[in-house]
Structure formats: C-alpha cells, structure tokens
Amino acid sequence: MTEKLVIIGNGMAPGRMLEHLLEAAPDRYGITIFNAEPRVNYDRIMLSPVLSGEKSFEEIVIHGDGWYVANNIMLYKGHKIVAIDREAKTVTSDHGVTEPYDKLMIATGSVPFIIPVPGNDLPGVLTYRDLDDVNAMLLAAQSRQTAVVIGGGLLGLEAAAGLKERGMEVTVLHVMPTLMERQLDPAAGYLLQRAVEARGIKVVTRANTKQIVGNGKVEGVELDDGTIIPATLVVMAVGIRPNVTLAKEAGLTVNRGIVTDDRMRTLDPDIFALGECAEVGGHVYGLVAPLYQMARVAAAALAETGEDLFAHADTPTKLKVTGIDLYSVGDFADGDDREEIVLRDAAAGVYKRVVLKDDRIIGTVLFGETTDGAWFTDLQKKQTDVSQMRDTLIFGQAFQGGASADPLAAVAALADDAEICGCNGVCKSKIVSTITSRGLTTLDDVRAHTKASASCGTCTGLVEKLMQLSLGDSYNPAAVQPMCSCTELGHDEVRRLIKAKGLKTIPAVMQELEWKTSCGCAKCRPALNYYLVADWPDEYADDYQSRFINERVHANIQKDGTYSVVPRMWGGVTSSKELRAIANVVDKFAIPTVKVTGGQRIDMLGIKKEDLPAVWADLGQAGFVSGHAYAKGLRTVKTCVGSDWCRFGTRDSTGLGIRIEKFMWGSWTPAKVKMAVSGCPRNCAEATCKDVGVICVDSGFEIHFAGAAGLDIKGTEVLGLVKTEDEALEAIVALTQMYREQARYLERIYKWAKRIGYDEVRRQVLDDVERRKAYYDRFVYSQQFAQVDPWSQRVSGKDKHEFQPMAALSLQQAAE
Amino acid sequence: MNWHEIGSIEDIPARGARCVTTPQGRIGVFRTADNEIYAMEDHCPHRGGPLSQGIVHGASVTCPLHNWVFSLETGMALGADEGSVKTMPVQVVDGRILLGFERPLMAAE
Ligand code: SRM
Ligand SMILES: Cc1cc2nc3c(=O)[nH]c(=O)nc-3n(C[C@H](O)[C@H](O)[C@H](O)COP(=O)(O)OP(=O)(O)OC[C@H]3O[C@@H](n4cnc5c(N)ncnc54)[C@H](O)[C@@H]3O)c2cc1C
Ligand code: SF4
Ligand code: FES
C-alpha cells in the first residue's frame, strides 16, 4: 500500500522537494498538501517584479493547478493546519478537515516581524510576504500618494522601488546608519543609498519609529525625535521569524526554528521540517538556495534513495532592483586577523572588496560591477589559497593567468561545478551540457530546461555568456529580437519585407521569409494578420483564425468564459432612447452586471456566447454599433462638455470628439488607440495622458500625442497648434496612419513614438505637408474597407459557427 | 468505446475549433491546417479557459485566457508550463466526425 505524505505549507521549499521526490519515487506516496495561502505554488522571490509591474502573477506560478492534477496530489488551498496529533498521526485544518499521515512535512515558512509600536494595526499598515500583500500595496499605490517603508534591507528596498515605480512618493526608514548593513559594508551601503535616492526615493537612516499615527487609518509615521512623515501606506519589512507555533504545540524541539538533523528529520522520526521554518546545524535561512538544498536532502530521505546530508554554505545576496547591481557573500567584518583588498572607481560608482583570512577568501562585497561574484564565491567555497594572485585578485578572473580582460574568457575559465544560478543551484556544466545535448539556442529555452536565470534573473548575463561560449557565432544576443520562435526576423524587418516583396497572405509571408514552423504560433499570427490588413487594406482577406478570440467574436472574453459587450457611445454622449434600449437588453438577457467604463460608455458583462448575436440585434435596432472595446483599433474618444455648456469652454470639444470618433472608428491599429478632446486647458477629458489628445484653446487646437495612463504613466508630448477643426482632424488622422504603417504589433503610440523620436513624428505629420496629406489619404482609403459594423454583420449570419456549439449530445440521444 | 457523430469536418474552420456540449462536460474539437481532427476537454487546467476558443497552430492550441499552449495530440502543456488536458478519441469517417466516449452517455439508473 502507498504511504501517505502530508505537507503543511506550499511554499518554495516543499514545491522543489516534490519535484525531486516525484522524480526519485513517483508512486511511493499518496500526497496531500495544506496551504494557508489560497493559491498554487509560486515563486515568492518574484513578488517584487510583480509589484513593480515587470511581471504578472501568472508568470511567476511554478506549479499550476494542472500540475497537481497530473501528479495526483491533493492540494487544499486556503486551509490552515491548526493542530498536529502525533499520537493519532493526523493533522486538522481550520475548515475541519482531518487527514491521517504516515510521514508529515512541516514547511510553514516565516512570518514577517511587526514592530511593537502603537498604531501598528491601523488599516494601511502592511507587511511584505505574499501575493495578498502585493495586491494590497498595488491598491494603495493607485492613490499615488505617499508611502513609508520601514526597513532598509533587501525586502524593504525592493518594496520601495516597486512602489516608486507605481507612482508613489516613497520614504525608507532604516534604524541603522547604512542600508542593508547585514549584507553590505558601510562603503557599499553608501553607494546603495545614493543609487536608491537617485530614483527619487527618500532614505532616512538612524530612524527609530516611535509610533504609527492616524485616525481610523494610517496617516503617518512618527519618529523618536518627533518628526512625523505623512503616509497613506506603511510597509513593515524589518525581518522575519520562522513560523514554528504549530511545531511547538505538537511538542517538537524548537529553538529559533524547528530543530532537525541533517536529513531534515525532527525528533519525531515521521515528521520532517523544511524551508525557512527549519533549523539545521544551528542555522535558520531566509534565501532560497539553502532551502533548495534542504529540499533535495528531504526528498532523498523520503524516497530512501540517497545518503544526502545538509551542509551549511554561505549564500550570496543580490538585490532585485533593476539598475542596482550588488553582490555580497560571507563574512566581511573587519578584524585583526583579516586582510582586505579594495577597488574603487568613483566615476563609475564601482566598489569591490574582498576579505581574506589566512590567504583564503571569507567574504566579498561588490557594488556597481558584479560579474566576478560567482568566481570569488567559488574561490571561497573551495578555500583556494590566493596568495599567488593577490595583486590582481580584485580585478577579477579575467586578469588571472595572463588572460586578457575578456569577460567571455573569464566565464570560460570558471570551473565546471561553479554555481551560476544561486536561486536554483545550477552549475556551469549543467547549463553547458543542456545547451549542447538539447540544441538550445535561446535564453528562454535555457531557462525552461535548466531553470538557470528563471528565478530572480540576476545571473542572466552569465547564462548568456555561457550560451555564447557553447554556441559560438550562432548566438548573438545583441541581434534583433525575433518576432517569436518561428522566425529569426524582427518585427521591423518583417514589415519591411512584406512591403518590399509584396507579400499578401500569411502563407506567403511564412514561405518567403522561411518561417520555421508550419503555421506559426499565437504570437506571430495575429501580428502578421495585422501587418497585412494595414498594408493591403483592399486586397488582403482578414484571417479570422489568426485573431484572438475577442477580435473573432467582437466581444471581450471574461474569466468564466462569458463575454462583455460595449456599444459605441460617441464622445461619451448618450440619450434617454439609448439608455432605455440598454435597459431593455439587460432585462431581456438577464445580464448580471452593467458598468460605466473608464472610457465614458456602458459595459454589459456576463453575457453567454450563444446570446451575443441576439444582444447585438437588439442593440442594433436602437442604432448602436460595436464599441471595439476588444480591438487593437480605435477604442474611445473621451470628451468634456465644452463650449456648449461649460462656462470656461473655448470650443465645441464634444462635437470635435464625436467627429473624430465617427471618422476613425473601425480602423485596426498595432495596439489599442484612445483619444480625448478637452474644451480648455483645465482638461476635464484627461487628454494629456491619451494616445492622442486635443486641448482646445482660444487660438486653436493644441494636439498632443504619446501619452500613457495604464501600465505606464506618461504625460503627452505636444505635436503642435493648429487653427481649425479640419486641420486638427487631418493631423490626427495622419499621425494615426503613420503609426499604423510603422509600429510593431502590440506597441502603443507612446512606445513607438519614443523609439523613433518625437521630432520625427512632428516632422512627418506637421512640417511635411505632402507626407501628411499622403498619410491622410491612405487612412481614408483603408476606412472604406474597415468601417463596417461587425455586430450587424454577425446579426446577419456571418461566422455563425462561432456562436453555437457544433453539436449538443444529450442523455436521451445517447440512450437510443 | 461508444462513438457519437457530431458533424462534418467542414463545420470547423481549418486552424480552428468548435465545441460540443455533452452530459460529461464540454469538449473542444479542433481542426489543423492539414485537416487532422483532435478532441479534448474544453477546459484549461490553468484557470478553466475554453480551449476551443484559442488560436490553433500546428498541432497545438493556445488558451485564450493566459496563453498556455497545449499539444492537441497528447493534451500536455508545452513549453515551461505544466499541466494536461484530457484528450478524447476521434474518428473521421467519410468526412463525418465521431467522438469516442469510454462511458456510455446514459444517466445512471
Ligand atoms: C472595461 C474597462 C474597465 C472599466 O470597467 O472601466 C477596461 C477593461 C479591460 N481593460 Fe482596460 N478597461 C477600460 C479602460 C481602460 C483605461 C482608461 C481609459 O481608456 O481612459 C486604461 C488606461 C489608459 C490606457 O489604455 O493606457 C486601460 C488600460 C488597460 C491596459 C494597459 C494598457 C497599457 O498599454 O498600458 C490593459 C492591458 C492591455 O491592453 O494589454 C487593459 C486591458 C483591459 C481588458 C481588455 C483586460 C483583458 O484583456 O481582458 C479588460 C477587458 C474587460 C472587459 O471585458 O470589458 N486596459 N483600460 C474600461 C473600458 C473602456 C472602454 O469603454 O472601452
Ligand atoms: C518579496 C520577497 C522577495 C524575496 N527575494 C528573495 C531573493 O531574491 N532571493 C532569495 O533567495 N530569497 C528571496 N526571498 C525569500 C524566499 O522567498 C523565501 O526564503 C522562501 O520563499 C521560503 O520558502 P518556504 O517554502 O520555506 O516558505 P514560504 O514560501 O513562505 O511558504 C510557506 C507557506 O506555508 C503556508 N503556511 C504557513 N502556516 C501554515 C499552516 N499552519 N497550515 C497551512 N499552511 C501554512 C503559508 O501560507 C505559505 O504559503 C524573498 C521573499 C520575499 C517575501
Ligand atoms: S478591468 Fe482593467 S484594471 Fe480592472 S482587472 Fe481588468 S485589466 Fe485590470
Ligand atoms: S485558463 Fe488557460 S492559460 Fe489560464
């Protein structure tokens, strides 16, 4: 009979342990996991990129739901274990589930430490540990007000950088004189502070928090000296404590962590502890590399395959804040028995320090230039006698043994077992052999197959050098980023060749440009379809199978597979007749949610796919057309009330907005396009954060472009001032057409304009009259093929198959 | 195996898919560029996305919700994602598509 393994906690350590266990002894255990967090296994160390917006949560999931299903593992999400009964060998969750075990693994991680000051429980005081914390911070960041981060260590600084990135004013309070003093010496701490301040984050050192003030919610942080720093959000990142309550109550030995032997076994032979909650050899850990070693050891013990024992090793610390390179490992305190070697380059902001004892490296701190980190650490691990290279040691590996200062040579010289990726414990030989044996050619492939550089990403440079070494000239990271893995060509090159070679179908593009796959992928097909629609509006037959579902069915898919429908409401203006029609549709189809969107119109959410054509038929009766809320195309033109009503309005902004929207709707663009027209510089339509905006002034129309207010926030650039509405429309249309012809698929106007230069845009659409006219004419030409209401087409039967199941098998029919 | 006819190959666009509702859940039926027909549960193991509404390329489909890619042949997630979808036996006889069910589609008595 299979034995039963129960795991408490589903963090990074048990996640990795299971991978080893399933490999070594796939069928040995029936596995059940209880996780207090209501989610699957994810890469906790990547929460900072999620906070800053560089990654989405989906991208950091390690084991999705399917993995548990495939491996027959029962995962209880949102179940916290509240008791372990060692006598009966059962655990019980807060939802009342009791589960017997043969072997039990405690992996409860850590809990953030909360400083015991008044006000620490006010709403708005957060810690930084899990996705809920990140979501709460993101919510608070929407106010774009002020945040205080208490704690200038790794987590505090990553939180601060993320919140700043999200538009908050951020102050970091740190109790010690320099930042990250546990990992950095004061010199590096200083450089770090400078780098942090250079991003607009305030840093207050020697800051002792007296209390958190606020009435019903956080309003500020008061320091010992009476200073009050205003804040709408306070993040406490002052340290973590191993989460040992459960183990203690069960009578297991607990010091700082749950005490285990070097096979991760507690005093009860059937109970193991693993991860940040475990204490092995007198150490507790807070970085994943040693936890992953624990995972290997524990898996071997459970599978009874190996004799693996846990051995302590120093783990390097790196900070995951883009643009700040630091690396520290080992012991670098000053001491009589120690020597140090230091290198500084003030202009470049580089600082390197290696600490020696008995001619052996015991600690390393690097700031600003960290490529030699792995090499120093390797020397330290192997306890190499460095007296022979003492004079050149600090210059790094490239300077040893007469080799030139070639970074590639330095990587080539690394020992086979040198650790490249600390997070995942991947060494050089493993990466090189995987690249060669599997014929990998891209960084993504290497990440997928070796996990190297797939966690915090700080070793990406090293991994790329290994790829260069293994693949020679065929690997060129500086080359153009290919569109996707189906081709070597970049977007610009593909666009150029489509025109130059007159390619007019997707198969033609794939054949002539030597696509490596038979029919492309979900990345390149929609891009190619757009390029062809934009370049050959009259000749190209749109390929619906290359469009995402939203553009295929002209509605937005929702998370439960239903759809939302947003009709156009020109310039945000509606009428009682339109509202009544919407009300009737909502009642008739029992539409669960009706919402006013951020784009000045009405969204009906939760509509069944089969109902879409009927919904559109009714809306169409009332004169509505599709709002293209799903399209890479013109979305909304927001307006303010303007001179018709407003006492400040200089011109008819509503009228101009409607005119633009009626002129331009239906056109496909590389990414979505949103516009707005405001009647005066008070700018109530928020025209200065749109792709294209107009501010009406007494002297005419100020045209703006390249704003952003989504993932990025960016005020617009001024295109220029024109005198009449006609001129304004012509310039806006020309700008849009230029964008349609030149941008890369999914590239918003602000990214495209920044890439090619704002002046270039002004030159082509304002200064060069002929060009402007030509762009305008090409847009107008293509509109005759594009301006067809997709909803009424489908009401009349187009793509009928999209909306109905192919067949409906029922019980009766089957019983025949 | 219990075979049920669900329609003709022409009912599905090439590089496209349709769904079939059954008492055992919704099934996605896929047609590739070279007219191979595959069937699997219309339910992505990630967050339940309707796979029959994804983009079909080669012998794989990309989920419409968060872009996981699945092999139509094996149902396994491709690339770095892990998970699998249950595939179903299909036969094409004279252009008609038949779906195979292990259990008969009958209410338990
Ligand atoms: C419905 C709406 C939210 C609302 O309830 O108000 C909305 C809903 C969605 N937005 Fe939005 N956005 C809506 C206004 C906005 C606005 C405000 C505006 O338009 O003035 C913005 C910021 C302005 C901008 O676009 O920069 C906005 C920035 C985004 C972004 C970030 C784009 C970026 O490049 O920064 C995304 C993600 C993307 O497009 O990749 C997004 C994506 C989405 C998607 C399509 C997510 C998705 O892929 O499913 C949501 C579809 C929900 C649905 O089915 O309806 N939505 N979204 C708004 C529809 C406006 C409309 O009438 O068409
Ligand atoms: C923002 C952030 C950035 C980080 N950056 C890095 C980095 O760059 N490099 C690095 O090496 N490390 C980093 N770390 C540390 C690293 O994430 C942790 O060391 C690691 O995740 C710990 O793994 P674990 O499995 O021990 O515990 P955790 O991942 O914390 O998992 C413990 C789980 O157990 C659950 N649990 C607790 N009690 C119970 C109970 N009674 N019943 C059921 N479930 C329970 C919890 O809900 C939690 O999901 C970072 C951590 C954070 C928060
Ligand atoms: S509507 Fe927009 S902001 Fe809201 S959850 Fe969806 S994508 Fe995010
Ligand atoms: S539901 Fe399919 S990828 Fe998320």
Q: What is the 3-state secondary structure (H, E, C) of A284-319?
A: CCCCHHHHHHHHHHHHHHHHCCCCCCCCCCCCCEEC
Domains A3-110+242-303 and A125-238 in one fold: yes
Q: Which amino acid is at A767?
A: D
- Enter the DSSP assignment of A28: T
Measured in whole angstroms, how far is the alpha carbon of residue A225 from the centre of its chain? 39
- Cβ A519–B69 below 8 Å, yes or no? no
Tell me the C-alpha to C-alpha distance, in Å, between residue A816 and each of A179, A809, A811, B107: 76, 12, 9, 12
B29 contact residues in A (CB cutoff 8 A): 806
Of A582, A597, A600, A751, the residue with max ligand 1 atoms within 8 A of its CB, to mutate for a pocket test, comes to A597
Q: Residue A368 and residue A345: Cα distance in Å, rounded? A: 9
**Is B21 part of the contact surface with chain A (CB cutoff 8 Å)?**
yes
- Enter the DSSP assignment of A671: S
What are the domain boundaries of chain A? 3-110+242-303, 125-238, 491-547, 550-630, 634-784
| Closest CA relative to residue A625, chosen from A592, A661, A657 | A661
| Closest CA relative to residue A279, chosen from A315, A255, A310 | A255
Q: The complex's ipTM?
A: 0.67
Tell me the C-alpha to C-alpha distance, in Å, between residue A42 and each of A37, A47, A60, A112, A290: 11, 9, 6, 18, 18
Q: Residue A587 and residue A146: Cα distance in Å, rounded? A: 44
Q: Residue A567 and residue B76: Cα distance in Å, rounded? A: 39
Token pair 């740190």 in the structure block, residue: A174
**Phi and psi angles of residue A34, each rounded to the nearest 5 degrees, phi first:** -115, 130
CATH of domain A634-784: 3.30.413.10
Distance from residue A55's CA to the centre of ligand 4 (Å): 16
Exposure of A117 by Cβ count < 10 A (0-12 exposed, 13-18 middle, 19+ buried)? middle
Is there an atom of ligand 4 within 6 Å of B65 CB?
yes
Q: Buried (b) or exposed (e) across A320-332, using 16+ Cβ within 10 A?
A: bbeebbbbbbbeb
Helix (H) or strand (E) holding A529: helix A524-535
- Cβ B57–A521 below 8 Å, yes or no? yes
Tell me the C-alpha to C-alpha distance, in Å, between residue A574 and each of A581, A583, B8, B87: 11, 13, 46, 49
In words, the CATH class of domain B12-89 is mainly beta
| Closest CA relative to residue A178, chosen from A193, A194, A159 | A193
What are the domain boundaries of chain B? 12-89
**Is B56 part of the contact surface with chain A (CB cutoff 8 Å)?**
yes
Per-residue pLDDT at B81: 80
Per-residue pLDDT at A457: 60
Tell me the C-alpha to C-alpha distance, in Å, between residue A664 and each of A558, A737, A781: 27, 10, 12
**Is B98 part of the contact surface with chain A (CB cutoff 8 Å)?**
no
Three-class secondary structure of residue B20 per DSSP: strand
- Cβ B21–A809 below 8 Å, yes or no? yes
Q: Residue B76 and residue B69: Cα distance in Å, rounded? A: 9
The residue whose C-alpha atom lies closest to atom 30 belonging to ligand 2 is A109
Measured N-to-C along each axis, helices A769-786 and A725-742 cross at an angle, to the nearest 10 degrees, of 80
Of A276, A325, A328, A458, the residue with max ligand 2 atoms within 8 A of its CB, to mutate for a pocket test, comes to A276
**Is B26 part of the contact surface with chain A (CB cutoff 8 Å)?**
yes
**Is B106 part of the contact surface with chain A (CB cutoff 8 Å)?**
yes
Distance from residue A113's CA to the centre of ligand 4 (Å): 36
In words, the CATH class of domain A125-238 is alpha beta
Q: Residue A502 and residue A509: Cα distance in Å, rounded? A: 9
**Is A815 part of the contact surface with chain B (CB cutoff 8 Å)?**
yes
Helix (H) or strand (E) holding A100: strand A98-100
The token pair that represents A717 in the structure block: 């650039």
- Cβ B77–A801 below 8 Å, yes or no? no
Tell me the C-alpha to C-alpha distance, in Å, between residue A686 and each of A572, A600, A639, A675, A709: 13, 12, 9, 9, 10
Give A512→chain B minimum CA distance, Å: 18
Per-residue pLDDT at A614: 96
Measured in whole angstroms, how far is the alpha carbon of residue A811 from the centre of its chain? 46
Is there an atom of ligand 1 within 6 Å of A636 CB?
yes
- Tell me the residue ranges of DSSP E strands in A491-562: 556-557
Give A611→chain B minimum CA distance, Å: 16
Per-residue pLDDT at A488: 80
Q: Residue A162 and residue A184: Cα distance in Å, rounded? A: 21
The token pair that represents A799 in the structure block: 């793509």
| Closest CA relative to residue A449, chosen from A409, A472, A421 | A421
- Cβ B80–A63 below 8 Å, yes or no? no
Helix (H) or strand (E) holding A44: none
pLDDT at B109 over 60: no
Is there an atom of ligand 4 within 6 Å of B68 CB?
yes
Is there an atom of ligand 1 within 6 Å of A689 CB?
no
Of B40, B47, B69, the residue with max ligand 4 atoms within 8 A of its CB, to mutate for a pocket test, comes to B47
- Cβ A65–B47 below 8 Å, yes or no? yes
Q: Buried (b) or exposed (e) across A694-716, using 16+ Cβ within 10 A?
A: bbbeeebbbbbbbbbbeeeebeb
The token pair that represents A637 in the structure block: 């033109």
- Cβ B49–A561 below 8 Å, yes or no? yes
**Is A801 part of the contact surface with chain B (CB cutoff 8 Å)?**
yes
- To test the contact with chain A by mutation, choose from B1, B22, B57 the residue with the greatest count of A C-beta atoms within 10 A, namely B57
Q: Residue A509 and residue A526: Cα distance in Å, rounded? A: 13
Three-class secondary structure of residue A266 per DSSP: coil
Closest-CA residue of B relative to A68 is B83
Distance from residue A710's CA to the centre of ligand 1 (Å): 8
Using 50, 70 and 90 to split pLDDT, how confident is the model at B106?
Answer: low
Of A64, A522, A553, the CB nearest to B83: A64
- Cβ B12–A801 below 8 Å, yes or no? yes
- Cβ B45–A560 below 8 Å, yes or no? no
**Is A562 part of the contact surface with chain B (CB cutoff 8 Å)?**
no
Q: Residue A775 and residue A534: Cα distance in Å, rounded? A: 12
Per-residue pLDDT at A403: 45
- Report yes or no: A673 and A635 within 8 Å, Cβ to Cβ: yes
The token pair that represents A699 in the structure block: 């002297």
- Enter the DSSP assignment of A265: B
pLDDT at B107 over 60: no
Q: Buried (b) or exposed (e) across B10-30, using 16+ Cβ within 10 A?
A: ebbeebbbbbbebeeebbbbb
Residue ranges of chain A whose pLDDT lies below 70 = 1, 346-347, 401-407, 455-458, 477-480, 811-816
Per-residue pLDDT at B108: 45
The token pair that represents A141 in the structure block: 């960041």
Distance from residue A595's CA to the centre of ligand 3 (Å): 13
- Report yes or no: B29 and B39 within 8 Å, Cβ to Cβ: yes
Q: Under CATH, which architecture does the A3-110+242-303 domain have? A: 3-Layer(bba) Sandwich (3.50)
In words, the CATH class of domain A550-630 is alpha beta
Residue A323 φ/ψ region, left for φ over 0, alpha for ψ in the -120 to 50 degree band, beta for the rest:
left
B22 contact residues in A (CB cutoff 8 A): 808-809
Q: Which residues contact A105 (CB under 8 A, 6 or more apart)?
A: A5, A6, A7, A8, A14, A17, A271, A272, A273, A274, A298, A302
Average pLDDT of chain A is 91
Q: Residue A526 and residue A528: Cα distance in Å, rounded? A: 6
